Amino acid sequence: MSRLETWLAWILLAVAISLLHLRIVLQSDILFYDDLLNDLIVHGGAWSNWKFSAAPGFFPDLALYAVGFFVFPDVPSRILFVSAMQAVALALLSIALVRRLTRHGLRRNDAQVVLAVAFATLVSAQSGMWLYFQTTNNHFGAVLFGLLGTMLALRLARQSSWPHALALLVVVGAAGVSSRLFVLTFTLPCLAVAAMALLLTRRTERSALRQQRTATLARLIAVLAGGQVLAMLLEHLLIHHIPVEARPPLSVESISASLTFLTRATVAAFDHDNVATLLLALLLSGCLLYLLYLLYLRLSRKIHHDHAATAPAPIRTDAVDSDIQAVGALLCVSLPLTIAGAVFSGAIVDNAGYRYLAFPLVLAVLLALVHANRRACRLWWAHRVWVAGAALVAGNAAWLAYQAPQPGAPSTAVAQCVAAAGAEGFPLQAGIADYWNARAVSYQLPDRNPIIATLRDVSPLFWVSTLGPLSNPDRYPGYHYNFAILRRPGGGDQFDYTPETIGRLLPRPARIRTCPDGVTQLWLYNDAELHTVVQAAITTFMQQRKNTP
């Protein structure tokens, strides 16, 4: 029966993954990898010209996208492929960790784990939760490599093994260069737990065992530290332009804003307007409260035992109990440290801040599941939980499948407006726009006309983009600027890209086309007036970069 339940759970997960296409919105962030690979492969661009975000996601996101780039014909298919691989990897690694924390590695929990991943996937498909590849700034590698690193660390903490040590070294290095969050959410907590375990080995009775245990834990600490050094070396090798724009200045205001965004995200998670998000929030809260209750019981028994005993008793636990305790300790360090680090660094700058806490929250769900299966009557509990979970996931999937499709990105309407100008006879060549319109509109134009992102002073915006067209224009033909995409004042423009700002610095256009969205203006030029202004701004920008040490 458990095997049938597991297969059905995988089918429900596949259904949930297929619905992730509802969350695909073609905007400049999500098109970054496609732009990068097109530049490197089609134009022969240089990797060293590219500036990445603070969470470049080299592994596994970019690696998976590179595979999809050669297999699938368009960006939506590639995005769905990456998200599907992320969801399957999350399910497989979660199953592997739960089996390690279950006595004799029983598989009876597999169906429950897969159902939990399927439900989280459905919530991701019908909410603003940044779990999978809805954006390049999801830090999903910190979750996957965190689970893999946890299993490798548990193995190394028990027995030294050079293959596993090398694997952990590579995992920490690859994850660290892909997302600096990994250091905060896994590497530092794991180092702290290993250091605490090293101190507690003094209570072991046999000195030989104590020496062996001390050496094993010391090797684990060395591997974790070495992995972080590897991450720094990889960063030096792969990242040639530091994304200083992603680092808000540390101040009381940035900390307060970060805390405000986290509070808003918490309130939104428990909002009854989105039942799926509410249920997921209740599930996560229930798991955390259940684990806190178990911790309270354990501490109460320990205090009672310490008062009753005349001498401290030696620690005697089997391998499974020790692993569960180690994962519990990792969770106790990772969750508060990640929250504190994300808030006090000012990193939370939107309402999707819970993506920073994904690893400890996943760890909490898996640990709660393991404890519940150990303490409950497995036969009736497991079947009833599976039936309830399957009904919840299936019902959610059916409801979501029949919902009206969500509106596309605003850039889609802008691209249609630009394409209409071309269809009416205007010779579209290259253009300028703000960050959100530049890459997204260019991708959706019939001829993929190049559009560079600039600031409102016309200077290029060098952010998750390449210097190639600016420093080596001969390799990028077609960059003759003859149109600009502006927004009307008060249109919710993050970059204040309006006729009253950048428009004052641009030459008078031959024609201004107001787009049907009522927000966008298309400035069209017949001659080289705009090209001259843009090229002058590019020359000044490149000269300033050359003079900057």
Question: Are the CB atoms for 85 and 60 separated by under 8 Å?
Answer: yes
d(CA 377, CA 69) in angstroms, rounded, equals: 48
pLDDT tens for residues 481-514? 999 999 987 655 678 899 999 999 999 999 999 9
pLDDT at 456 over 50: yes
pLDDT tens for residues 292-343? 999 988 888 766 655 555 444 444 455 668 899 999 999 999 999 999 999 9
Q: At what angle do helices 410-423 and 435-444 cross, to 10 degrees?
A: 60
The residue that leads in pLDDT, 223 or 402, is 223
Is 62 in a helix, a strand, or coil?
A: helix
Q: Provide the residue type at 283 as one letter.
A: L
- Output the DSSP codes for 496-542: --STTTGGGGSPPPSEEEE-TTSSEEEEE-SSSHHHHHHHHHHHHHH
Lowest mean pLDDT among 121-135, 361-375, 439-453: 121-135
Which whole number is the average pLDDT over 176-183? 94
pLDDT at 312: 46
Q: Cα torsion for 257, 260, 264, 266, to the nearest 10°?
A: 120
Inter-CA distances, 423 with 427, 429, 515, Å: 9, 13, 14
Percent of the chain with pLDDT over 70: 87
Q: Are strands 430-433 and 481-487 parallel, antiparallel or unpaired?
A: parallel
Inter-CA distances, 546 with 169, 407, 539, 540, 542, Å: 37, 43, 11, 10, 6
Q: Where are the domains of the chain?
A: 1-137, 141-241, 258-303+326-375, 411-547
pLDDT at 316: 44
- In DSSP terms, which residues pair with 432 in a beta bridge? 452, 484
Which whole number is the average pLDDT over 351-380? 84
Which whole number is the average pLDDT over 538-547? 90
Percent of the chain with pLDDT over 90: 58
Mean per-residue pLDDT over the chain, rounded: 87
pLDDT at 161 over 80: yes
Q: Is the backbone peptide bond immediately before 60 cis, with ω within 30 degrees of 0?
A: yes
- Whole-structure pTM value: 0.91
Question: Are the CB atoms for 201 and 213 separated by under 8 Å?
Answer: yes
pLDDT tens for residues 239-252? 998 876 555 667 88
